[in-house]
Chain A
Amino acid sequence: MGGRPALGIPLAVTEPRATPPFLLRDPARARALVDFLHRHAPPEMVRIVHVCGTHEMTIAENGLRSLLPSGVEVLEGPGCPVCVTPTVDLDRAVKIAERGAIVCTFGDMTRVPGTRVTLAEARAQGADVRVVLSAADAVVVARKNPDRDVVFFAVGFETTAPGTAAVLLDDPPPNFSVLCSHKLIPAALDALMATPPTRIAGFLAPGHVSTVIGAAAYRAVAARHHVPIVVAGFEPLDILYAIALVLRQVREGRAEVENGYPRAVSEEGNLRAQELLAMAFAPCDAVWRGIGRIPGSGLNIRDELARHDARHAFSVQAEEGEDKPPGCLCSEVLLARAVPTDCPLFRDPCTPLSPVGPCMVGSEGACSVWYRYGERPHL
């Protein structure tokens, strides 16, 4: 993997680091890649799933779906961390905020509906909910408010989890704790393949997550389910190239992990970040909105750091509730079985300004991206 020469695939993206970014948006190279896709598309329908909001943005903003052969579909699965955070975690965050703690989280999280209210609505009713850009910013809030409890509501995949781990391990102030809802990508890929009916021919693995966990992290899933997994970058040519690698594997009957993003992702990943994750967290089962409980797909704060675990500091109870408003297709979208325009609520009444389901709330959610970027395959 990675070392396999990209024979037959007309692209210089395989040349790492030295490639200037503008080459990654070069229309002539894109045309050559698209020609390759059309020449080599298998006769059967091929459904490729990515799990990354930033991949969806690249695909939609550049209109890449309009370039694919008619038998090749690319869908966003559970790739938006905001979208997959279950109501039970949101309800817990709301209750903690209503008890008087300062709850800090990323902007989109404040707009996701829980069972009763969003964090933004709780704020309107007097709770102290603040938007931060990182876990470290939440620690700053805690140091500035030593007489208040400050809780960082931590969401995100392996990309953001090391940041949370770093502050937990850096002796944060006693009034700081973390409500941990971090999730792990390889376990989600495993669950998608294990949930029938499975019609997934291959995965594009998320580039940012892969910089941390390394390309090797997907090998077990690829082998267990005999599914090609290609690590993909974020420029339009990165995506087209990764799709070409998947199609070639499908055609050749291979199911391997290939690294289509070698200028950023290594085989073993970021060992220091992995070490931080292992020191701060232990894997646990986790509930994903729209999908349900996935074994080993979440992170619990280790017992040694329990004094900074909001679940211990605040014994708030919340129950696993209904994750899906009536008529909403978000769970099918998150399972990569539907695209946003399949949903009867898309555009009317569900819009980014008045979202019904979580995929329209998160700016990386498939529905929000399709709405904002005018995505419609085969326009």
Chain B
Amino acid sequence: MSRLSDERVTSLHGAGGELMGKLLAERILPAFRLRRAGPIGLDELDDGAVIELPPGQVVVTTDNHAVKPFFFPGGDIGKLAVCGTANDLAVMGAQPVAITMALLLEEGFSLADLEAILTSAARELADLGLPLVAGDTKVMGRGELDGIVINTTGVGVAERAISDAGLAVGDAILVTGTVGDHGMALLAAREGFHLQTELTSDVAPLWPLLAPVLAAGGITAMKDPTRGGLAAALNEMARKARVGIEVRENAIPIRPEAQALSDLLGISPLEVACEGRAVIAVTADHAETVLSLLHAHPQGKEARIIGRAIPDYPGRVVLNTGIGGRRFLEMPVGDPVPRIC
């Protein structure tokens, strides 16, 4: 029979001794093929990594990922930790150049699960050609943490960074695909709901989709609608730019499965997270070009123009409802679905 430490994370794994070295060498490092973005990377196990950057504006972002369940339809916390941070860079207009990863593990966490999570993260990084340049692992006592939390920090370079606030009256507003899939899929997968659905998370890296769009020009603002979903993203863009935004509910792509779950649970698909979508504001004369570039990519097949920036109601979002009515689309109150990203 194998020893407990071969199967489960123990406090000794976090102590920095031999057991930690074994865990790193056997379980963690081999999964990642790209391990440097300059002269000093992961293999040196130095106090820091050295990155060589191409010219442009340097963009840095960081995110903690505490999703539950750790494995969900369409992804897992490892894939999410890579995409979440890489996508924050992408919607800033920055090509991801390097990423770091810090793991917080609860004592007793399954090493097989850890391996599966890291393999998944490594696969995403390989697909993106994004090196993991530094990392850290800490083990918390049982009950001090629920399973696993992953922090990732990303560094990217933008020719010209795109903010949330750059949109102006007349700009078209696009989404790159169906909204609410991630949040609704996670909710359905939670214990206690007993719901069966074909819906899977949309978690995916955005850079391959957005790179050609950025090159085409005309983009004035961009945001990934994670926590709070499309409703939060649009409200933030309207508030920061001090313009109104008018959207047509019928133009917003929503999967029937997500709509059905939404009706059942009373949670709007506009208010739950996406993890592989972007909201884009683009000057009116570039809108059709951007839309056709999105449609040309497998991830952007369902991209739609959903509305435009207007001079009325600055800071607010007006929703023209599917039935023909009109109301404000509000910033979501609280968190309808906790621990989703």
Taking Cβ atoms with an 8 Å cutoff, the residues of A that contact B are 25, 27, 30-31, 34, 57, 60-67, 236-237, 351-353, 371-376, 379
Which residues 148-163 of B have a CB within 8 angstroms of A?
A: none
Which residues from B are CB-within-8-Å of A31? 324
Given A27-B250, A371-B333; A60-B327 close (CB under 8 Å): yes
Contact among B316, B322, B324, B330 for A371, CB-based, below 8 A:
B330
Give min CB distance, A235 to chain B, whole Å.
Answer: 9
Q: Name the residue on A nearest B313 (C-beta).
A: A379
For the complex, what is the distance from the CA of A62 to the CA of B321, rounded to whole Å?
6
Which residues from A are CB-within-8-Å of B330? 371-374
**B99: interface (CB < 8 Å):** no
Give min CB distance, A218 to chain B, whole Å.
Answer: 27
For the complex, what is the distance from the CA of A352 to the CA of B330, rounded to whole Å?
13
Are B333 and A66 in contact, with the CB atoms below 8 A?
Answer: no
Instruction: List 5 A-B pairs, minimum CB-CB distance, nearest first.
Output: A374-B328, A63-B325, A63-B327, A66-B326, A63-B321
Are A67 and B322 in contact, with the CB atoms below 8 A?
Answer: no
Which residues from A are CB-within-8-Å of B318? 379
For the complex, what is the distance from the CA of A373 to the CA of B266, rounded to whole Å?
13
Give min CB distance, A149 to chain B, whole Å.
Answer: 26
For the complex, what is the distance from the CA of A76 to the CA of B328, rounded to whole Å?
19
Give min CB distance, B84 to chain A, whole Å.
Answer: 25
Are A352 and B334 in contact, with the CB atoms below 8 A?
Answer: yes
Q: Name the residue on B nearest A59 (C-beta).
A: B325
For the complex, what is the distance from the CA of A352 to the CA of B329, rounded to whole Å?
16
6 contacts between A and B (CB under 8 A): A63-B320, A67-B323, A372-B332, A376-B328, A379-B327, A379-B328
**B319: interface (CB < 8 Å):** yes
Are B321 and A61 in contact, with the CB atoms below 8 A?
Answer: yes
For the complex, what is the distance from the CA of A61 to the CA of B321, rounded to whole Å?
8
Are A379 and B333 in contact, with the CB atoms below 8 A?
Answer: no
Q: Name the residue on B nearest A67 (C-beta).
A: B325
Q: Name the residue on B nearest A27 (C-beta).
A: B324
For the complex, what is the distance from the CA of A67 to the CA of B326, rounded to whole Å?
8
Return the CB mask of B299-341 against A: 1 if under 8 Å, else 0. 0000000000000000010111111111111101110000000
Which residues from B are CB-within-8-Å of A62? 321-323, 325
Give min CB distance, B311 to chain A, whole Å.
Answer: 16
Interface of B is mostly: loop
Are B334 and A63 in contact, with the CB atoms below 8 A?
Answer: no
Which residues from B are CB-within-8-Å of A64? 323, 325
Contact among A27, A376, A379 for B322, CB-based, below 8 A:
A27
Question: Count the B residues whose beta carbon is within 8 Å of the partner chain — how many?
Answer: 20
Taking Cβ atoms with an 8 Å cutoff, the residues of B that contact A are 250, 266, 268, 316, 318-330, 332-334
Q: Name the residue on B nearest A65 (C-beta).
A: B325
Give min CB distance, B27 to chain A, whole Å.
Answer: 40
Give min CB distance, B266 to chain A, whole Å.
Answer: 8
Given A379-B318, A379-B328; A351-B333 close (CB under 8 Å): yes
Given A27-B250, A376-B328, A379-B318; A353-B334 close (CB under 8 Å): yes
Which residues from B are CB-within-8-Å of A237? 323
Task: List 9 extra interface pairs beyond A236-B325, A373-B328, A374-B330, CB under 8 A.
Answer: A27-B323, A27-B324, A34-B324, A61-B268, A62-B321, A63-B325, A353-B334, A371-B330, A374-B328
Which residues from B are CB-within-8-Å of A371? 330, 333
Which residues from B are CB-within-8-Å of A353? 333-334
For the complex, what is the distance from the CA of A353 to the CA of B332, rounded to whole Å?
11
For the complex, what is the distance from the CA of A351 to the CA of B330, rounded to whole Å?
13
Which residues from B are CB-within-8-Å of A57? 266
For the complex, what is the distance from the CA of A31 to the CA of B324, rounded to whole Å?
7
Contact among A63, A374, A375 for B323, CB-based, below 8 A:
A63
Q: Name the residue on A nearest B327 (C-beta).
A: A63
For the complex, what is the distance from the CA of A60 to the CA of B320, rounded to whole Å?
12
Are A374 and B329 in contact, with the CB atoms below 8 A?
Answer: yes
Which residues from B are CB-within-8-Å of A374? 316, 319, 327-330
Give min CB distance, A160 to chain B, whole Å.
Answer: 16
Are A379 and B326 in contact, with the CB atoms below 8 A?
Answer: yes
Which residues from B are CB-within-8-Å of A379? 318, 326-328
